[in-house]
Structure 1
């Protein structure tokens, strides 16, 4: 049986202090129906700190696409768990794969903890029971610009063997070149609305690729809506429509303003702390491919 897995090494930026710090890359292969891979994460960037506004939530990402024959494909790609305490510490639990394998109970998860009080980021390696610790510089909320998310890797898995095809976004600075035409971009306010009990401010961005700019015989229009909480400084809802790839959404669910469990921001006592000054590489395996 053949199916696709998206390996989400680093997600795109979604809000202020809640970004993954550093770029990502990865590789993997399939042996006996098990997907084995490595994921490498870059050094820690400067991190904005939001103190005094604790919360916890889940961010659910979905994707739908309509094929040329009218077939609709819809899947729940990822559920990311987010936590922040009153001191500004954050914890992110992010599946390392997107799609059916990413939402499975046994799917591998990357846990990232930012502790601005101690000045460290921790990446927990559940396989080796290690906590990779890196120092970082905290800055006031709004003072810094989050680093952009890096690669997503698409792995095509078969039950026997396979390889991983990597799809990496164009590096900064080359957008607008002949190979990467720059679209016409416009933006407008969508006003405010209540999402999960919190006030959200919305903005729609429209990107239009002119006829012939990407081999198209008519303009291609891509739209994205972002709804941010000005109080919590997090993204509550985003939607995007691209006629080439379909519709994607990310919505915040189960938002709680209660103080999270303090142990969530601590390294488990049975983990060994490993100090890192450079990239961190994790090894993990997916569950076996489902029977045909």
Structure 2
């Protein structure tokens, strides 16, 4: 998967953060009574790049939306540096997902964002099309997520972190509505004690999100972490009707390169 990004911290530090605080994905399956695997999902964070919201390949829950992203990081003089973009995300009733990737650009600047990647995933065919807009080449790679997985929010419980590293506070924010769709809100506040991650004072990070059970995604998500800054994701122009099938075919004029078999197919 190719996504343009800005590096913030060495990857090893970020992996430590993930290990101490909240895992991105946890798969679990009972060996005695086989059940669908469970995927715990969350938005935001960095692992060498900024991660966006997670879209599961659910069936029977189509939607189309524009996702507005802002990423702010502190400057040494007390100000902040903010990058923004806006991109289209579409899912049909079969669980196929179309996503555009647009470059992050400085907020309020004259620099215009542009789309550099189109991604199309098909859970039935187990394919992931990653299409470079400049090269007009779509690489086919395997796609492992399937609709019958159980997708759950990655939420911890209130209480101390292991080995005296700090404390996590979980709060239910109640019911709300976004773009005409019901949501339920949650907030997690994680405090790392001094010295856990090179910090000389308590290090506090928060995650707040408003989840749509109908669509299986967060329509509003906010992440505030001292190591990566503030990230916000907001769904706009949301519709829940079946989208145009044209989103899920190879764009006209693009060449297909099958990375699973090394085959090239002209479109």
What secondary structure is seen at the aligned counterpart in 2 of 1:208?
strand
Q: Which residue of 2 aligns with 1:78?
A: 85
Distance 1:206-1:278 versus aligned 2 partners, 3 A rule: farther
Residue matched to 2:17: none
In the alignment, structure 1 residue 98 sits paired with structure 2 residue 101: no
CA spacing shift, 1:7–1:63, aligned 2, 3 Å? closer
Aligned-pair CA distance for 1:272: 1.8
Task: Tell which has more relative contact order, 1 or 2 (C-alpha 8 A, sep 6+).
Answer: 1
Distance between the aligned counterparts of 2:62 and 2:169, measured in 1? Answer: 34
Any residues of structure 2 matched to 1:162-201 within 5 Å, and which? Answer: 182-201=165-184
The equivalent position to 1:134 in structure 2, one of 124, 128, 141, is 141
Q: 1:136, CA displacement in angstroms?
A: 3.1
What is the match of residue 213 of structure 2? 230
- Residues 235 and 141 of structure 1, relative CA distance in 2, 3 Å threshold: farther
Partner residue, 2:156: none
Contact 1:92 1:113 in 2 (8 A): yes
Distance (whole Å) between structure 2 residues aligned to residue 91 and residue 19 of structure 1: 19
| 1:212 Cα deviation after fit | 3.2
Deviates more, 1:101-110 or 1:192-201: 101-110
**Equivalent residue of 2:86, what SS?**
strand
SS in 2 for 1:123: strand
TM-score between both structures, scaled by the size of structure 2: 0.65
Larger strand share, 1 or 2: 1
What CA distance in whole angstroms lies between the structure 2 residues aligned with 1:112 and 1:86?
Answer: 17
Question: Contact between 1:48 and 1:142, CA under 8 Å: does it hold in 2?
Answer: no
Q: Aligned with 1:263: secondary structure?
A: helix
Alpha-carbon distance in 2 for matches of 1:100, 1:87: 36
Question: What is the rounded CA distance, in whole Å, between the counterparts of 1:140 and 1:273 in structure 2?
Answer: 25
Deviation at 1:229? 0.6
The root-mean-square deviation of aligned C-alpha atoms, in Å, is 4.0
CA distance in 2 between counterparts of 1:83 and 1:208 reads 36
For residue 173 of structure 1, what is the aligned residue in structure 2?
Answer: none
> Aligned pair count?
215
CA gap of 1:86–1:119, structure 2 versus 1, over 3 A, is same
CA drift at 1:142: 4.0
In 2, Cα distance between equivalents of 1:266 and 1:182: 49
Question: Contact 1:78/1:103 (CA < 8 Å) preserved in 2?
Answer: no
Q: How does 1:113-262 map to 2 (within 5 A)?
A: 113-143=120-150, 182-243=165-226, 246-262=229-245
Hey, what's the Cα distance between the residues in 2 that align with 1:239 and 1:92? 20
Are 2:252 and 1:269 aligned? yes
Please name the residue that 2:32 is paired with.
none
C-alpha displacement of 1:75: 2.8
Per-residue CA shift, 1:88-142, capped at 9, x if unaligned? 11101012x4233999546242111012343321111222322111233452344
| 1:7-22 equivalences in 2 (<5 Å) | 7=6
Q: Aligned in 2, Cα 1:262/1:138: closer, same or farther, shift over 3 Å?
A: same
Does the 8 Å CA contact 1:227/1:237 hold for their aligned counterparts? yes
Q: Does the 8 Å CA contact 1:17/1:49 hold for their aligned counterparts?
A: no
| Secondary structure at 1:81 match in 2 | strand
Q: Report the TM-score, using the length of structure 1 for normalisation.
A: 0.60
* Preserved contact between residue 76 and residue 100 of structure 1 (Cα < 8 Å): yes
